[in-house]
Amino acid sequence: MSAVLLVIGILFFIGLIIIHEFGHFIVARRNGVEVEEFGIFFPPRLFKYKTKSGFIFSINLIPLGGFVKLKGEHDSDTEKGSFGAASLWVKTKIMTAGVFMNLITALIMLTIISLIGLPQLINNQFTVKSDNKIVSKAIEITYVEPGSPAAKAGLSANDQILAIGQYGKSLKTISNVNNLPNLTASLADQKINILYKNPVTGKIKQTSATLLSSAVVKASQVAYIKAYKAARACQVVTPPKGYLGISPVSYSLVRSTWSAPITALGLSTQVTALTFKGLGNAVYGLGSIIAGTLTNNKIARQNGECSASSQVSGPVGIFFILKQSSILGYQFMFTIIALISLTLAIMNILPIPALDGGRLWMMLIARLIKKPISAKTEELINAIGFIILLIIIILVTNVDIHRFF
């Protein structure tokens, strides 16, 4: 089932690109601007088809987005039917149409998921307290320490802990992830029984494990604190040992009725704020990369690379996020798809050269200062922006590979 959901998730992700570009496509055509090509992903081309309407539909190799190529795309073009010859209002509508489509898609998806059961993904996630009901709750293992009691007992990532108890005695149901450390600490150095569920197979199993002693755990914590203080920024430090040896997380599904659209809007606002915070850290990291490169400061450059790339995920990261969410269920997967759609809307309204927002803001600034940007200057700005974007994607992909492999 999870494999099917993963395929569906990837198709929906591609669908977000199609929806975004369709916004540009439909608004351009309805306002008299001719479309020359509608492309999924970026060239080189893998497939092309010339439609009866006269534009080319293409599927391309590089999975970093999509594009709609308009006639006379430069702001300085004047030929009839070209983008450049359109009014400022029409150009603005065309440039923001993709953002609008992704934003509406995100809000509609989150509204529908709220009616079914919305995953609680962030701390203090927005809800209308008078209209929500917890329909599902579980404690999931996100990581199992190699050689730990949990690993020896056969537990693995994504297993859900249902109950724990002293060997030979009744089990205690685990309903709150915060109760788990205290429970395992109280049973230190003892043999326990663990009742757990594998979400992929749906099977409930029982196993046993002998927990680590308090002395071993405390010694590991002291070593971790010492290593953490000595570590440089972004350096991976081995986490301290736990009594059972797992990293658990609590998640729940909350259903809304009349407040579903409000919940969707509230969550979108929270995620937007977190996105801008992450982008701020990424920009700061990019500045450190540039400064470190110019001054030949290797540590500053490495710290900058980590700060910039750790805030976002590239194609590799998105694949593994979809894979993880498909294991948790369709609610999680479609929520992630909705939030990706929201992120696409945010990124494409910002003044980033080579993206919709960059072109829009360049055009508006040119009108404000009453000095048109030449085609050559526009192409140069977009080319530099695209190169910077590719550098960031390469850095992010490198981090994603180390993160997931």
Closest Cα partner for 101 from 344, 403, 304, 327?
Answer: 344
Give 210's strand partners.
191
- Please tell me whether residues 114 and 139 are part of one structural domain: no
The answer to whether the beta carbons of residues 15 and 66 sit under 8 Å apart is: no
Question: Does residue 151 lie within any of the structural domains?
Answer: yes
Proportion of the chain above pLDDT 90, given as a percent: 35
The answer to whether the beta carbons of residues 245 and 151 sit under 8 Å apart is: yes
Which comes out higher in pLDDT, residue 307 or 114?
114
- The total domain count for the chain is 2
Structure token digits, residue 403? 């993160």
Mean pLDDT of 99-115: 96
Q: Sorting pLDDT into bands at 50, 70 and 90, what band is 319?
A: low
Closest Cα partner for 16 from 111, 107, 102?
Answer: 102
Q: Which domain does 339 fall in, by range?
A: 2-34+71-118+318-404
Q: What is the CATH number of the domain that holds 166?
A: 2.30.42.10
Closest Cα partner for 269 from 122, 133, 132?
Answer: 122
Domain boundary among 207, 236, 254: 254
The answer to whether the beta carbons of residues 61 and 359 sit under 8 Å apart is: no
Question: Does residue 295 lie within any of the structural domains?
Answer: no
pLDDT at 27 over 80: yes
List pLDDT tens digits, range 50-76: 998 889 999 998 877 789 999 988 777
- Please tell me whether residues 147 and 226 are part of one structural domain: yes
- Predicted TM-score (pTM) of the model is 0.79
- Please tell me whether residues 228 and 200 are part of one structural domain: yes
Position 296 scores a pLDDT of 63
Which comes out higher in pLDDT, residue 299 or 343?
343
DSSP string, 149-164: HHHHTT--TT-EEEEE
pLDDT at 258 over 70: yes
- Please tell me whether residues 174 and 113 are part of one structural domain: no
Lowest mean pLDDT among 22-31, 272-281, 330-339, 343-352: 272-281
- Please tell me whether residues 248 and 138 are part of one structural domain: yes
- Please tell me whether residues 101 and 142 are part of one structural domain: no
List pLDDT tens digits, range 121-178: 887 889 998 998 888 888 888 889 999 999 999 998 888 999 998 888 888 888 788 8
pLDDT at 322 over 80: no
Q: Sorting pLDDT into bands at 50, 70 and 90, what band is 306?
A: low
Q: Sorting pLDDT into bands at 50, 70 and 90, what band is 282?
A: low
Question: Does residue 200 lie within any of the structural domains?
Answer: yes
- Please tell me whether residues 353 and 384 are part of one structural domain: yes
Residues in the chain: 405
Which comes out higher in pLDDT, residue 331 or 100?
100
Mean pLDDT of 178-183: 86
